[in-house]
Structure 1
Amino acid sequence: MANKTIAFIGTGNMSYAIIGGMIKNGFAPQSIIATNRNPEKLAKAHADFGVRTEQDNLKAVEEADVVVLSVKPQMMAELCQTFVDAGLDLSNKLFVSVAAGITVKRLREMLAEDVKLVRCMPNTPSLLGRGVSGLFAADIIDEEKTYIEQVFSSTGIAIWLEQESQINDVIAVTGSSPAYFFLFMEAIEEKAIALGFSPEQARALVQQTALGAAEMALSQQDISIAQLRANVTSKGGTTHAAVEHLKANQLPQTVADAMDACIARAEEMEQQI
């Protein structure tokens, strides 16, 4: 599918990041169409990446072989209805949805056709090229899977899921988890300020420590995360005292419960849309 045209319907921050990653990874700008109601955003996308732009979603869909639906879940039905009302031939197009809570079955109902479809769940670090995208495919061939993997690998890593229900699991593990890390960083930052550090010092200390810990995990793939923690936790020392306190207050179980709550909410959304 190297010569295929891909259209991003609703070029917000996430689509902008994906397009930027694609350009960096050698995709031809003229093979990419960005749509948005805001002409200023389209002008920026063209200026930054040289891609084609279009305010008319229908024209973009007509020209594209691959259509990325990058709108909010509550807007998806209305968007798809415009395609149906216009009588567009969608039979040979591959659709990609990045919307949470909309199943393959529901999206096909919205499009009134059993289209080829990929559900994708990227996370916000994709904006920096450090993201994770979970992918689930429905009725697509290997060539199409390879193309989609190349698209979403341009902003980090992409993994294929065997079951659609795993999309909700990915939301809990990677989609929502940046907020978990931020909450933990926030708690350390607040305590650092209470200890007398300036807000600027506290922010610098916390973010550099978080970055360093992440880099240690990335650079030592042969060592488990549990072992990395143990390596900096001398028994009877200060770190040991802090870690044991967190364990005694059920931090691991609290995290697990929070992830279960995330999955439950994703499942609820599937029933509401």
Structure 2
Amino acid sequence: MDSTICFIGAGNMSLSLMGGLLASGYPKDKILATDPSADRRQEVTQSLGIPCLESNTETAAQADIILLAVKPQQLEPVCKELADTVKAKGALVISIAAGVRTSDIAFWLGGEAAIVRTMPNTPALIRSGATGLFATSAVSDSQKDQAENILRAAGLTVWVPQESDLDIVTAISGSGPAYYFLFMEAMQAAGQKLGLDESTARLLTIQTAFGASKMALESPDDCATLRQKVTSPNGTTEKAIQTFEQHDLRAIIEEAMTAAKDRAISLADELGTTHNNS
């Protein structure tokens, strides 16, 4: 029997997940949502046919799974508001709020709770996301399956054994789309500087990125092997790769991802100050 899911916060990520669940055949009458904006509530109900109400507590009381989709800075008051409801229902709590640790969420909920923390990325908005998940010890195997099924509605999912691994997930897939956008931005600009018009340079850049990603995803070969296969000795690709290597692109990427990971850790510290100081 399908569990009733309540989305606290009906932003774009929630809409994508709800739409994905419906597309996969999840019963419409098992999905609820809340949002403080009357316009947003009306939009959700009209576009998806899902009840979207104002009261978090009244709506969450009808659910077995509560998905927290509010801004990280709003998570503390929302959790405190839902604490009694979560405790009474024994509900599974899933958080897609970036950077807030499960220990802080549990503290705000008033103690031990079954919590799955996730790190989705923006391509989840078009159901092509990559989401890392971490479960606390209070989460059962069946609850892990439920959480995975919900997040899989927005793309690929992977479980990590330690919560600290989510900081690395943030550095790879959470922030990663922006790295590729920057690389594509630079490729398009170079193409235009070399003589192509903007539209042609843009389309060639984007389709090349898409095609390379699709090959990497579907091929049994790893990325290094795929790169070697298209790099002919003394050819055009080799000359470009040599230029990247001369400028130590690998070290730049490692340094950038380390900076992203370190910032993820410091943000979590900042967002959890209430718990840490209590």
3-state SS in 2 of match to 1:133? strand
Does 1:228 find its partner at 2:226? yes
Residue 247, structure 1, aligned to residue 237, structure 2: no
* Equivalent pair of 1:234/1:240 in contact (CA under 8 Å): yes
- Identity rate, percent: 35
SS at match of 1:154: helix
1:247-266 aligned at under 5 Å gives the runs: 247-266=245-264
Select between 236-245 and 97-106 the one with higher mean Cα deviation. 97-106
Equivalent pair of 1:30/1:50 in contact (CA under 8 Å): no
Q: Distance in 2 between matches of 1:51 and 1:127?
A: 18
Q: Does 1:127 align with 2:125?
A: yes
Structure 2: which 5+ residue stretches go unaligned?
272-278
Q: 1:89 to 1:15 in 2, by over 3 A?
A: closer
Provide the residue aligned with 1:36 in structure 2: 35
The equivalences for 1:1-273 within 5 A come to 2-84=1-83, 87-88=84-85, 90-91=87-88, 92-138=90-136, 139-220=138-219, 222-273=220-271
> How far 1:224 sits from its partner (Å)?
1.2
How far apart are 1:194 and its partner, in Å? Answer: 1.4
The number of residues matched between the two structures is: 269
Whole-Å separation in 1 of the counterparts to 2:85 and 2:24: 31
The alignment partner of 1:48 has SS state of helix
Residue identity in the other structure for 2:43: K
Q: Name the CA distance, whole Å, in 2 between partners of 1:152 and 1:3.
A: 15
**Offset of residue 14 of structure 1:** 0.7
What is the CA RMSD across the aligned residues, in angstroms?
1.4
1:63 counterpart SS class: coil
8 Å CA contact retained: 1:131, 1:155: yes
Aligned residue type for 1:103: R
Q: State the TM-score, normalized to the length of structure 1.
A: 0.94
Residues 65-111 of structure 1 show CA distances to partners (whole Å, capped at 9, x for unaligned) of 11111111111112223335xx5352511111111221111111112
Tell me, in whole angstroms, the C-alpha distance in 2 between the residues paired with 1:142 and 1:89: 19
Equivalent-residue separation in structure 2 for 1:78 and 1:151 (angstroms): 24
Amino acid at match of 2:249: L
Tell me which amino acid in the other structure corresponds to 1:12. Answer: G
User: SS where residue 68 of structure 1 aligns?
Assistant: strand
Q: How far off is 1:199 after superposition?
A: 1.8
Q: Distance in 2 between matches of 1:260 and 1:187?
A: 22
